[in-house]
Structure 1
Amino acid sequence: MTIHRTTLEPRRILAVRERVAMTALTDFFARAFGASAAALESSGLHPAGPPVAVYVGTPGTTVDVAAGFPFTGPLTAPEGTVIVDLPSGDAVEAIHVGPYDELSVTYEAVGRELVDAGLTHTDTMFEEYLTDPDTSPDPGTWRTRIVFPLQ
């Protein structure tokens, strides 16, 4: 795994945002990604990238999360969805390869890198799901971009 600094460009996603129990994230993602994709389509737009989950604050038994798709063009959020501005500017990112239930290994490595480099991240971070499990069923090949915007 490679952890490196990057500069994020401004992007927006159309998402469903809720406070969700950590144990219910899989069900939430299925519902939120489906609703966001349908809302984009009904607005005449298409996803402008892979699905994204934005986490605000420190997860505990629940987490404040928005899940949806990036888009370009004018859009008013349809009922049940919100427009989320992804953080821009300096960030640290890593690409996790493997199943989602092993993401904690990459998170721990990024956390150590941040501490070792004396960097502080904002209270918002996000994941981009670069591999579609429906078309790549082997979890060992799944790629997830983990991004920590810096203060």
Structure 2
Amino acid sequence: MPFTCEIKELPVQQALSVRTRSPVENLPNVIGQTYGTIIQYMSELGEQPAGAPFVAYYNMDMTDLDLEIGFPVNRELPGKGVVQPSRIPGGRTGTCMYTGPYQEIAPAYDALAKLIAEKGLEPTGVAYEIYYNSPMDTEPSKLQTLILFPIKS
């Protein structure tokens, strides 16, 4: 399956997020509950997300994933409890659009890693997934996920 992978310059994006850990099999519940917590807090602030939700993966240990789950926002907002201000880094970034079931995303990661290596670049090791639709109301074959690999300076 061909993927649209590119190297782009992206702006820094302010966010509200929760940093947590989870085994891969618990991801749907952890992500859903965390999105709910963040949306509830944003509602208290009278704010709305500035775009699609994301998850940052700081490792790929499927038994103990180190995650940052959040929403982009239009400006830096204060944190409360587990919900804290954060940023999706800007600068040179490898991007790859994937359409399909989450459990079949690995070839898109491989295609993006190959492009970055071919360009002689090095990723930071953090992978972001931005979710343009939800498995709650979209069939798995039509789920759209933008993968971001920030590039080391």
TM over 0.5: yes
- Paired residue for 1:132, among 115, 131, 134? 134
Identify the residue that residue 150 of structure 2 maps to in structure 1: 149
Map of 1:1-151 to 2, 5 A cutoff? 1-56=3-58, 58-60=59-61, 61-135=63-137, 137-151=138-152
Contact 1:13–1:70 (CA under 8 A) maintained in structure 2:
yes
Distance in 1 (alpha carbons) for counterparts of 2:108 and 2:127:
14
Contact 1:16–1:35 (CA under 8 A) maintained in structure 2:
no
- 1:17 is displaced (CA, Å) by 1.1
The more displaced of 120-129 and 68-77 is 68-77
What is the aligned residue count?
149
Contact 2:56–2:127 (CA under 8 A) maintained in structure 1:
yes
Distance in 1 (alpha carbons) for counterparts of 2:32 and 2:108:
23
- Per-residue CA shift, 1:74-126, capped at 9, x if unaligned? 52112121112111100110000001111112111112222222210013221
Q: What is the identity, as a one-letter code, of the residue corresponding to 2:47?
A: L
Contact 1:5–1:92 (CA under 8 A) maintained in structure 2:
yes
Q: What is the identity, as a one-letter code, of the residue corresponding to 1:9?
A: P
RMSD, aligned CA: 1.4
| Equivalent position SS for 1:109 | helix
TM-score, normalised to structure 2, is 0.90
TM-score, normalised to structure 1, is 0.92
Specify every segment of 5 or more residues in structure 2 that has no aligned partner in the other structure, as ranges: none
| Equivalent position SS for 2:55 | strand
Q: What is the identity, as a one-letter code, of the residue corresponding to 1:63?
A: L
The more displaced of 106-115 and 47-56 is 106-115
- Per-residue CA shift, 1:7-58, capped at 9, x if unaligned? 11011211121122222211111111111111111111011101111122x3
| Equivalent position SS for 2:123 | coil
Distance in 2 (alpha carbons) for counterparts of 1:42 and 1:125:
30
